[in-house]
Chains A and B, each alone.
Chain A
């Protein structure tokens, strides 16, 4: 088997393992998704139940809810490798750290996409928004999902290595994701017809953020899990 195929097979194996664990434990379905919906509802209460106001701010509220919920998913993903010696076992397995990173980020990405779909349903039902550019919505959602998953996996490993995962992760991760929040919100503003901006231009920023987070994460993960 060529090196690339072996690498992809290793990454796929790690992603399948994380998703299988999630399927069994149902943390995302049972805790993260309800939390995200709760955030949307609370935003509704805080901003009054005026649909016009909610529609104006729906994109930003959506992505803030995604980022807050992503913290839980990332925390969960990092915690898997800290339980009962599993990180030592991973080190001893000889699994390439970059494949481990890509696999774990892929699993987080799949969970984030699920989360985004449910939250979008929440926007449609609770906030009364309408989608005017579905293609832009999908592209922006996927690119932002990749960026959040990759950066989250990287910073999850970093915070775990420092031994203060729960408290440090939000402080480290959220500032890094600020450009993603901005770009994804602008793109969604356009896709939902809330604000007249060129949403496709903002997907460029999301693509760059996704690429940087993925490449840096794959290169740095080995150092983080070893040291």
Chain B
């Protein structure tokens, strides 16, 4: 199948996207276009629809109406073609408690289609990149702190080298060094040409990347004014 994304089509293109959580319209007709290499900061109050928007872009939520295209593919019909190229960091870690950190990340690397050689080469590097000490790599995940689990979860995404990052409150539960690691990770992803949509209440952390700021409220994009000036507007 031709990959229209390669021909300059936006990485994310939502047209009148409506998504329901039960019967509640979490997204009430969102229009949003994100070009390749952009960093988009989603902001808005709790319950505005930021998480649903990110999950919609990951193909984990079906649009009730409207169209959703990611990396040039229609997410309703072709979501399996897209997902391996997209990384979603949500509120959960996606890790198995009884496997070690290394076993978890290796499993997800292989599940994403990497060969054993590729996975082996990337896993330890990704874990150390996330600031996890070698002592922790052989420990079961259930013995880790919440922040360490968050870092391991990020490592499981890093090994896949996704083209689109969807980060939902990526700094949550992390200490100062963990937050720095996340910031560096986002910077590296952008430098490598990836596109990033990040939902965060810590605006000053993302401001350094000069993101385009999109404000969501009541399931709608209410402001899409452009670059953040680093002022850390409260929401």
A84 lies within 8 A of B95 (CB): yes
In the complex the two chains form, is A91's CB within 8 Å of B112's CB? Answer: no
Inter-subunit contact B96/A85 (CB<8 Å)? no
Which of A13, A17, A84, A91 has the most CB atoms of chain B within a 10 A radius of its CB? A84
What is the CA–CA distance of A85 and B108 in the complex, to the nearest angstrom?
13
Chain B residues within 8 Å of A93, by CB: 83-84, 108, 111-112
In the complex, what's the smallest C-beta–C-beta distance from B187 to chain A, in angstroms?
23
In the complex, chain B residues whose CB is within 8 Å of the CB of A80: 96
Query: Does B185 make an interface contact (CB < 8 A)?
Result: no
Chain B interface bracket (under 10, 10 to 19, 20 to 34, 35 or more): 20 to 34
Q: Give Cα distance in the complex from A151 to B94, angstroms.
A: 26
Judged by a CB distance under 8 angstroms, whether B92 is at the interface is: yes
Instruction: Give Cα A86 to B90, complex, Å.
Output: 11
Most buried by A among B86, B87, B91, B108: B108
Chain A residue nearest to B80 (CB atoms) is A94
Report which of A13, A21, A94 forms a contact with B96, defined as CB distance below 8 A: A21
For B99, the chain A residues whose CB sits under 8 A away are: 17, 20-21, 24
Does B5 sit at the interface, judged by CB under 8 A?
no
Contact with A along B74-108 (1 / 0, CB 8 A): 00000010011011101111111111000100011
Task: Report how far A84 CA is from B88 CA in the complex, Å.
Answer: 14
Which chain A positions have C-beta within 8 A of B140? 24
CA distance A173 to B7 in the complex (A): 49
* B88 x A21 contact (CB < 8 A): no
Chain A 15-34 interface residues, beta-carbon cutoff 8 Å to B: 17, 20-21, 24-25
Contact (Cβ within 8 A) B88 A83:
no
Q: Is the CB of A89 within 8 A of B60?
A: no
Q: Is A10 an interface residue (CB 8 A)?
A: yes
Expressed in whole angstroms, the minimum distance between the Cβ of A6 and any Cβ of chain B is 8
Chain A positions within 8 Å of B80 at CB level: 94
Q: Are the C-beta atoms of A94 and B84 separated by less than 8 Å?
A: yes
Query: When the two chains form their complex, are residues B107 and A85 in contact, meaning their CB atoms are under 8 A apart?
Result: no
A89 & B108 in contact (Cβ 8 Å cutoff): yes
CB contacts (< 8 Å) of B126 on chain A: these are: none
A25's nearest neighbour on chain B, judged by CB, is: B98
Decide if A124 is an interface residue (CB 8 Å cutoff).
no
Please give, as numbers and ranges, the residues of chain B lying within 8 Å of A95 by CB-CB distance: 111
In the complex, what residues of A have CB within 8 A of residue B84's CB?
Answer: 92-94
A99 to chain B, nearest CB (A): 9
A90 at the interface (CB under 8 A from B): yes
**Contact assessment for B111 and A88 in the assembled complex, using a CB-CB cutoff below 8 Å:** no
Complex CA distance for A72 and B154, rounded to whole angstroms: 32
Known: A24-B140, A85-B90, A85-B92. A91 touches B98 (CB 8 A): no
- Asked whether B113 is an interface residue with its Cβ less than 8 Å from the other chain, the reply is yes
B110 sits at the interface (CB 8 A): yes
Residues in A whose Cβ lies below 8 Å from that of B60: 88, 91-92
Residues of B within 8 A of A (CB): 58-60, 80, 83-84, 86-88, 90-99, 103, 107-108, 110-113, 140, 156
Q: A88-B88, A92-B83 are in contact. List 17 more A-B contacts (CB 8 A).
A: A17-B96, A17-B103, A20-B98, A83-B96, A84-B94, A84-B95, A86-B92, A88-B90, A89-B156, A90-B111, A92-B60, A92-B84, A92-B86, A93-B112, A94-B80, A94-B84, A94-B113
A to B CB contacts below 8 Å, 11 in the list? A13-B111, A17-B103, A21-B98, A25-B98, A84-B95, A85-B91, A89-B94, A92-B86, A93-B84, A93-B108, A94-B112
Closest 7 CB pairs of A and B: A85-B92, A89-B94, A94-B84, A93-B111, A24-B98, A85-B94, A21-B98
